Amino acid sequence: MRPAPLLPALCMGWAMPGIAASFGLLPVSAWWGCGSALLLLALIDAWRVRRYAFPEVTRTLPDALAVGMERTVTLVLDNGPRTLRVDVHDLHPGDWIASGLPRTLSLAPESATRLDYRLRPTARGDACLDGVQLRLYSPWRLWRRTCVIGALQQVRVFPNFAPLATLALLGSDQASRAVGAHIRRRRGEGTDFHQMRDYRVGDSLRQIDWKATSRMRRLISREYQDERNQQLLVVIDTGRRMLARDGDLTHFDHVLDAALVVSFLALRQGDAVGLLASGGEDRWVAPQRGPGAIDVLLRASYDLQPQPVATDYLALATELSLRQPRRSLVMLVTNLRDEDIDDLLIAVRMLQKRHHVVVASLREEALDAVLEEDVRDPRSALRAAAAARYLEQRATAHDALRAQRVGVLDVTCTQLPGALVERYLAIKREGRL
């Protein structure tokens, strides 16, 4: 229990009779009488507020949240027999963004008061809401009594899965275009038989089924689809390079979102998808297929965080080779620098003995912005030259990978989801697995 602002103000006001008494304008007994009256009022008000019971508070909040997405949190305060004036603040994690708190409420006797506010998580992983802090005012507003009540609540903050919910409502081709992938159609071609249908202008002669044509007395074509039951392994770098930021999110958050998008679309295609995180914090999810596999990937990766350590590409390739003997499409997402190229080339050669490898190298959007700026002084010229030199070294490293027949994607965080999906679909349709 602490004094409210009114009590110090009254104490300062009590000094005025003291000053008057010191100059003989008032008797000293008057000053003592004012002080005694103020003390009596403060003690009575303190006794009364100590007898007040805090209202009971319940919080309604989903156990699973998405990073960067606002959700409504509901607090219900059940009051007792007295009218109360309280300040309410929910003890959410300090770096989360809340709107509508703190709030001052007047609670009627024997009532349930509802308070809604908006909360936006800013980081993935496990989080805890400790309770609700209430500050209760005494009847004469001389004291404030503070208490934390309500149950501790654990929540899990997942990557932003709202795009996945949107993609689930679309067909495979529409979903691919929605994330920025440019799809090249190859009508009727593929590796798995799909169905028989009437001949269409443009079908190749090898598609015509002559036995069915003879039986039906009209041209019948075979239609094929891309081979199903293949395997995709998304490999995510959790080392220090992923701590860089573009916008509000780290590179790792962008990578994880893109990995979930390409995984979701690959599962829609009938393929199995697995995940390997290596560099800082390690995580392994064996390839799985079916609609429930995306939930497994979400639960396995939602609390992954990059660490300020160097990524060991050789250890990554060794672990992947031991865990995944079946041939797969391996998509490694990292931020490649020229000093990494020697180790990465050895790791890629090791993986290419069994797998088809694609390396997606993230490029900071700030580099493109520097090159687009006008050069107005020596400082800006030096900055532009440094950015150009850095990008040239990246391009040299990428060329070294391409010389080993490795697919390389040099993309920004914004371009990453569409680039991964586009390359995945292209590899499937070309039958390179």
Radius of gyration of the chain (CA): 33
Using one digit for the tens of pLDDT, what is the confidence trace for 15-59? 888 887 777 777 888 888 888 888 899 899 889 888 888 888 989
Partnered with residue 2 across adjacent β-strands are: 144
Q: Supply 97's token pair.
A: 């963004």
How far out from the chain centre does Cα 10 lie?
Answer: 51
Using one digit for the tens of pLDDT, what is the confidence trace for 261-311? 888 888 888 889 999 998 888 899 999 988 788 889 988 888 888 999 988
What span, in angstroms and rounded, lies between the C-alpha atoms of 258 and 268?
A: 16
Which position has the higher pLDDT, 227 or 339?
339
Query: Which residues are CB-neighbours of 191 under 8 A, at least 6 positions away?
Result: 224, 226, 227, 431
Query: In the chain, what's the furthest Cα-to-Cα distance?
Result: 127
What span, in angstroms and rounded, lies between the C-alpha atoms of 423 and 426?
A: 5
Using one digit for the tens of pLDDT, what is the confidence trace for 400-427? 999 988 889 998 888 888 888 888 888 8
Contact, 312 vs 342, CB < 8 A? no
CA angle 170, 172, 177 (to 5 degrees): 80
Contact, 61 vs 47, CB < 8 A? no
CA angle 326, 332, 336 (to 5 degrees): 150
What span, in angstroms and rounded, lies between the C-alpha atoms of 30 and 18?
A: 9
Tokens 């993230």 belong to residue:
362
Tokens 């009727």 belong to residue:
188
**pLDDT at residue 418, rounded to an integer:** 83
pTM beyond 0.85: the answer is: no
How far out from the chain centre does Cα 404 lie?
Answer: 34
